[in-house]
Amino acid sequence: MRARLNPILLFFAVAAALPLFFGATGLFYDAFQSIFVFALVGLGLNIITGFTGMLNLGMAAFMALGAYGFAILTCDIYPFQIGFWWGLLLSGAIGALAGFLLGAPTLGLSGDYLAIVTMGFGEITLDVLKNLEAITQGTQGINPLPRPTIGGWSIELQDERSWYYLLLVILGVAVLLVRHLERSRTGRAWLSIREDALASQCMGIPPKRTRMIAFATGSAVAAVGGALFAALLSSTGEPNSYDFQVSILALCIIIVGGMGSIAGTLIGAVVMVGMNSLVLVKIADWLGSRDHGASSNVLASPNNWKYLIFGLALILVVRLKPEGLVPPRLEGDAGAVPPQPPKSRSDAPRGGASA
């Protein structure tokens, strides 16, 4: 077995070292904080869609539930105020519960129908958040949110480097836990359902319960991502920050990175979110400095290029590298052994019974 650089470890090593070398500006931190948050959401979606093979188009709703759950439980305009860490934990629990409730009646549905149900759930959640004004403050969003405290030391909103490392550590813990699940009986059951649901059931794996657990786990991870998204802004933002485009962005992340691959999800988040909040912003600055910035033409502003670029990236990946930038099953084990050419004694044709 050839020693192989573990791409996940590599990602975290580079991410931890980056602020030390890079000219650590506000733009850099903004971009990477948002990359880490979306990596978490992608990680959740990767469990549902990548591991278990259930297409979920409503990931933003779970993010929103996490964010609003966190906000209501911690913001000082409500009586609960349970603090940052409990809020984070409970927002994950809220996501899991929502996943269970949505999953219980719908996970018997096959692929396309489930996609439609989750999409509908996303829209319904948005409308509820907008209209339940007494509780969610409608379109204002809930703020301010508490700062995380670690043993008496609290991280200020402006302390971007601390936030960067905090998010990196939380992402690391989430990746570790998801990895534990993936490499265990639980995760194998998920993968087997994706590969062949009937065969998996004939091996004694209860399909519906296994799907429910995957759905709830993925929703919980995404909800924690949503809670951090809100904590970073110190506000949930308006409900529209969790619209359908966010769900699609999460899907783009795992498609570009590689379905069913944890490392792929991380890289996918860097590529897709980094493009959006680092590269395009830089280009906009550059154009602005040369007086090309303001124009009535929508395409003159690079921020409007992002959907073009998302689409292009998707087309390129699906066309050239359909398994994603970092395909699964290459991680750490020797699954990468190339298929050997059939030996003469074993290249009998498929089918064709000898009778």
Partner 1 sequence: MSLLEVRDITMRFGGLTAVDGVSFDLRQGEILAVIGPNGAGKTTLFNAITGVYEPTQGSVKFRGSEVRRQPDAKLAIRSAAVAVLGAISTFVALNAQPIWLAAIDANYVLGKPFPWQKAFADAWTTARAVPLVWGIIPAIVGAITGAATVLALWHRLRRTPDLIARAGLARTFQNIRLFSDLSLIENVLVGMDSRLHCGYWTNLLRLPAFSREHSRSTAEAMELLEFAGLADRAHAAASSLPYGHRRRLEIARALASKPAVLLLDEPAAGMNPSEVTSLMQLIQRVRDRGVTVILIEHHMKLVMGISDRIVVLQYGRKIGEGTPLEIRSDRRCIEAYLGAEDEL
Q: Which residues bind partner 1 (CB under 8 A)?
A: 1, 76-79, 105, 108, 132-135, 177, 180-181, 184-189, 191-192, 195-196, 198-207, 213, 260, 328-329, 333-335, 337-340, 342-343, 345-355
Alpha-helical (H) ranges within the chain are 7-21, 26-45, 59-74, 84-106, 111-131, 133-136, 160-182, 185-195, 197-202, 207-233, 244-257, 262-274, 280-289, 306-320
| Nearest CA-CA partner of 68 in 39, 94, 46 | 94
Under 8 Å between Cβ of 174 and 41: no
If the CB atoms of residues 47 and 253 are measured against partner 1, the closer one turns out to be 47
CB of 121 to partner 1, least distance (A): 14
The rounded distance, in Å, linking the Cα atoms of 33 and 39 is 10
CB of 53 to partner 1, least distance (A): 11
If the CB atoms of residues 57 and 191 are measured against partner 1, the closer one turns out to be 191
CB of 260 to partner 1, least distance (A): 8
If the CB atoms of residues 89 and 279 are measured against partner 1, the closer one turns out to be 89
CB of 345 to partner 1, least distance (A): 6
Strand partners, 308: none
CB of 2 to partner 1, least distance (A): 12
Strand partners, 149: 154
If the CB atoms of residues 34 and 211 are measured against partner 1, the closer one turns out to be 211
If the CB atoms of residues 53 and 302 are measured against partner 1, the closer one turns out to be 53
Tokens of 293: 């910035």
| Nearest CA-CA partner of 219 in 124, 105, 95 | 95
